[in-house]
Amino acid sequence: MPITIAPCGAELTVRRVGTEAQVKKRLHEMGIVEGGKITVISSDSGSVVVSVKECRLCLDGNTARKILVA
């Protein structure tokens, strides 16, 4: 499922990051990698705030829709 519809508070595993190479590289640098764990903190109008390791990141709706989690 896309991270935009994932439940808040649940720890999820990133299954696929389907963005273009440059964005995928940047997400990887921030800790969003396939097989990695993330937690959705909040979701509003497509934008998503996630916790990765000990950081919080805000993802715009367009990017968030391309991150699939389980």
Helix, strand, coil fractions of the chain, as percent rounded to 5: 25, 45, 35
DSSP state of 45: T
Give the pLDDT confidence score for residue 44 in this predicted structure. 87
The mean pLDDT value for 28-39 works out to 96
The mean pLDDT value for 37-53 works out to 93
Give the domains, in start order, of the chain with CATH numbers: 3-69 (2.30.30.90)
Give the pLDDT confidence score for residue 45 in this predicted structure. 80
Q: How far apart are CA 10 and CA 19, in angstroms?
A: 23
Q: How far apart are CA 62 and CA 59, in angstroms?
A: 8
Give the pLDDT confidence score for residue 48 in this predicted structure. 95
**Residue 46 predicted with pLDDT over 90:** no
Q: How far apart are CA 61 and CA 65, in angstroms?
A: 6
How many secondary structure helices (H) and strands (E) does the chain include? 2, 5
| pTM as predicted | 0.90
